[in-house]
A and B are shown apart, each in its own frame.
Chain A
Amino acid sequence: MNAIKKYLKVLNRPSVHYSLGFLTLGGFIAGIIFWGAFNTALEATNTETFCTGCHEMRDNVFQELKTTIHYTNRSGVRATCSDCHVPHNWTDKIARKMQASKEVWGKIFGTIDTREKFQEHRRRLAENEWRRLKANDSLECRNCHNFDFMDFTRQSKRAMEQHSTALASGEKTCIDCHKGIAHHLPDMKGVEGW
């Protein structure tokens, strides 16, 4: 009891007990350690191993990704879960991570813990992602696929036509046409362009 009281006393007015230099330097070092640990933990939740740690992701969406060009291709450049589903810049990333707390809720209460449940929710989940990508002008696609450096002459005729008109004018964004490139599609009834 006495020890706790003593500790609280020190915590209450630390500058009385420790030198200013110690507190400043100590705070600085503690800050670095905290920030490093925070970022490391954040990055750990961005890895493919983490995402596929739960069977909901591993048995459904991850299996679908495996057959696509974003998983395996001639040059070996890969996009994994977080490359498309987590924004790269810091503020957006933190916002997305806070949203993801809802996914923890879903995991605890088994919202999609069977294949049937997952398929039932698939349209809603897909729409979330379409909405997000539409709102940020397909930012996660553009992290790799930069429009300014697209060589239309290396594209097929159809691709060139669409990219040089609808995409160039900003009338359409990537996700408007490229739905279901990494995962299977839900029932597309009523979706524009389908």
Chain B
Amino acid sequence: MTTLNSVKKSVKAVVTGVALVSSVLFASSASAGQEYISTLRGEVKLNQEEKAPVMAKVENEDIKRQRAYPMQPPTIPHKVDNYPVNKNANKCMSCHARDRAEESQAPMVSVTHYMNRDGNFLAEVSPRRYFCNQCHVVQLDTKPLVENEFQDVYQIIGEKK
């Protein structure tokens, strides 16, 4: 009788143990999944919406910024709110076009923008370069969301530290 009882007890203990372990495992795997999701959308549950961050202001200092690499399209150092760049009008070209640069003292768009893909120079900006904000963007006065590990080419080749 006593042996039967002890067997029963030990079986019970094993069953509870297995149940406990599996539940812990399950729970941890579930929480790992949640963490994975939360890295993408912040520390907010799936069925909740995060409070929108404050909108950052556009830098409007008109000071040219250094380019990170020689071929980088320069960023825009001023506001471009409601500047139309469409089939009808291109506000950027009001100042940056070849024939407007003298009056506006704005940098003329690079000569490559007047080239078609066969390398011929056109009188007007080439249609493939017409949509300025496809490459040129304003910069916001805010902290970057993720760390930037970009290294300047000079850092890589070890010159001009």
B78:A156 contact, CB within 8 angstroms = yes
Does A5 sit within 8 A of B, measured CB to CB?
Answer: no
A181:B82 contact, CB within 8 angstroms = yes
Interface residues of A, CB < 8 Å — how many? 15
Does B62 sit within 8 A of A, measured CB to CB?
Answer: yes
Does B107 sit within 8 A of A, measured CB to CB?
Answer: no
User: CB-CB < 8 A to A181: which residues of B?
Assistant: 82
Main secondary structure of the interface of A (DSSP, over half): loop
Does B60 sit within 8 A of A, measured CB to CB?
Answer: yes
Stretch of A52-60, A81-89, A140-148, A183-191 that contacts chain B: A183-191
A63: shortest Cβ distance to chain B, in Å?
Answer: 14
Contact of B62 among A69, A157, A193 (CB under 8 A): A157
B84:A184 contact, CB within 8 angstroms = yes
B82:A68 contact, CB within 8 angstroms = yes
Does A180 sit within 8 A of B, measured CB to CB?
Answer: yes
Shortest Cβ distance from B87 into A: residue: A187
Per-position binary interface string of chain A over residues 167-185, scored 1 when its CB falls under 8 Å from any chain B CB and 0 otherwise: 0000000000000110011
Q: A180-B89, A185-B89, A193-B94 are in contact. Are A156 and B60 (CB under 8 A)?
A: yes
User: CB-CB < 8 A to B87: which residues of A?
Assistant: 187
28 A-B pairs in the complex with CB atoms less than 8 angstroms apart: A67-B82, A69-B81, A69-B82, A156-B60, A156-B78, A156-B79, A157-B61, A157-B62, A158-B62, A180-B84, A180-B89, A180-B91, A181-B82, A184-B84, A184-B88, A185-B84, A185-B88, A186-B88, A187-B87, A187-B88, A187-B89, A188-B88, A188-B89, A193-B94, A193-B100, A194-B89, A194-B90, A194-B93
Interface residues of A (CB under 8 A from B): 67-69, 156-158, 180-181, 184-188, 193-194
